[in-house]
């Protein structure tokens, strides 16, 4: 199979935008992605497009995939909509990579868009809830936060994880988000703020939960046969892994892990010939603080039960072993469901092309993105590597 590369990526601001439509937000992200391509790219260059969206907001009902790609001038380009709850555009990126690797296409747009803030709070809770198991969880009264609260309670009981350690996730991610001009909640918070916020679903409080968000993100994936036409900064898709699991938390063997994340990571690491120790930074799915802690364990950054100590030690912050959620993560940057996975790839692209500004991870050559659907019914992991112009890994270029 051919290698796949990301040659451009961009996003809209994330937040609440009552005067925007899903078309206008998508256009902003698409234009930013196009502008980021070093040697330029035209609408005629695209062979295919994949759009991730849950599509439940009143302002995006309809045939959302072709609606947004036709709006930005990709006339006639075959467009596929992917819906996999919060993992929608992570899977859109995977589908784009598959199209390129298989030889079916040379240039594919992988993207996502969501309008979430035009619904009432009750409607939003409903749609977030049905991203998990509907019949036995949502319709029996369990909210999305409630499902992750069960995970947090189990992790605390089994491993001794503390509320303070959960709060360290919020402090770190808000610190990073404060450096991100696209972040919805781009402000810092203290540990005291994060510890004492109002309870949402015990033991999770307001600072342990991500916001609902409007936004769009786009990444341009191309084949090894054409990559040099578009850029000299080659960001290779080194590994891809995805997995599904029982949708209902009560159906699984564990409440303290997301097995789909673990399986997806193992596949991606094997394809890339890498391990967790090779990753310089990661964008992980922190819809709730406990989700980030479980991600550390499922992705191999630490052993089971050690994630609370890991975040509190600073090992996942700048200067640590692996910097997690440089964008601010879902907690600070925001969580426009269908755009989240593609938005993670935007951050990875910026880091690996050294365009992340104040958030730049020094010497970053390898990054990981981790996108989860629902409470773990689906997960997708991508590994990216910066290459030199001749195809050698960037760190090999330095050592040579």
CA distances 67 to 42, 92, 115, Å, are: 19, 16, 14
Does residue 370 have an active-site annotation? no
Query: Are the beta carbons of 111 and 26 closer than 8 angstroms?
Result: yes
Q: Give me the catalytic one of 155, 176, 182, 335.
A: 335
d(CA 274, CA 236): 13
Query: Are the beta carbons of 268 and 383 closer than 8 angstroms?
Result: yes
Does residue 86 have an active-site annotation? yes
CA distances 62 to 55, 103, 218, Å, are: 8, 31, 20
d(CA 213, CA 197): 20
d(CA 345, CA 333): 13
Q: Give me the catalytic one of 86, 189, 210, 218.
A: 86
User: What order do you get walking across the sheet with 378-387 strand by strand?
Assistant: 79-82, 48-52, 107-114, 215-223, 4-11, 234-244, 378-387, 366-373, 281-283, 323-324
Query: Are the beta carbons of 349 and 383 closer than 8 angstroms?
Result: no
Catalytic residue numbers, as ranges: 86, 335
């Amino acid at each position: 199979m051919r290698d796949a590369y990301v040659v451009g990526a961009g996003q809209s601001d994330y937040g609440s935008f009552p005067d925007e439509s899903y078309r206008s937000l998508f256009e902003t992200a698409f234009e930013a992605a196009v502008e980021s391509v070093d040697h330029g790219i035209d609408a005629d260059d695209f062979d295919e497009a994949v759009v991730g969206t849950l599509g439940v907001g009143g302002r995006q009902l309809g045939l959302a995939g072709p609606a947004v790609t036709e709006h930005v001038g990709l006339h006639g380009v075959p467009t596929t909509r992917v819906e996999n709850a919060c993992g929608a555009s992570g899977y859109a990126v995977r589908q784009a990579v598959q199209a390129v690797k298989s030889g079916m296409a040379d240039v594919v747009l992988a993207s996502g868009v969501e309008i979430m803030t035009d619904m009432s709070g009750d409607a939003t809770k409903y749609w977030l809830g049905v991203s998990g198991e509907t019949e036995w969880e949502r319709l029996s009264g369990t909210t999305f936060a409630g499902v992750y609260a069960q995970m947090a309670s189990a992790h605390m009981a089994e491993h001794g994880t503390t509320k303070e350690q959960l709060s360290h996730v919020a402090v770190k991610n808000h610190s990073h988000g404060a450096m991100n001009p696209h972040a919805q909640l781009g402000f810092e918070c203290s540990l005291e703020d994060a510890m004492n916020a109002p309870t949402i679903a015990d033991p999770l409080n307001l600072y342990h939960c991500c916001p609902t968000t409007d936004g769009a993100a786009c990444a341009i994936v191309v084949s090894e046969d054409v990559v040099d036409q578009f850029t000299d900064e080659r960001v290779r898709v080194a590994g891809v892994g995805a997995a599904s699991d029982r949708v209902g938390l009560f159906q699984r063997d564990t409440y303290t892990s997301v097995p789909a994340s673990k399986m997806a990571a193992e596949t991606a690491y094997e394809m890339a010939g890498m391990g967790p120790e090779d990753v310089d930074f990661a964008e992980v799915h922190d819809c709730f603080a406990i989700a980030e802690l479980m991600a550390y364990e499922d992705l191999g950054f630490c052993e089971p039960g050690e994630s609370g100590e890991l975040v509190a030690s600073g090992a996942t912050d700048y200067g640590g072993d692996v910097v997690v959620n440089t964008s601010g993560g879902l907690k600070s940057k925001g969580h426009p469901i269908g755009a989240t996975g593609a938005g993670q790839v935007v951050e990875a692209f910026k880091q690996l092309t050294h365009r992340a500004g104040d958030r730049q991870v020094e010497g970053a050559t390898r990054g990981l993105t981790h996108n989860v659907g629902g409470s773990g019914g689906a997960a997708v992991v991508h590994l990216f590597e910066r290459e030199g112009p001749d195809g050698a890994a960037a760190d090999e270029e330095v050592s040579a």
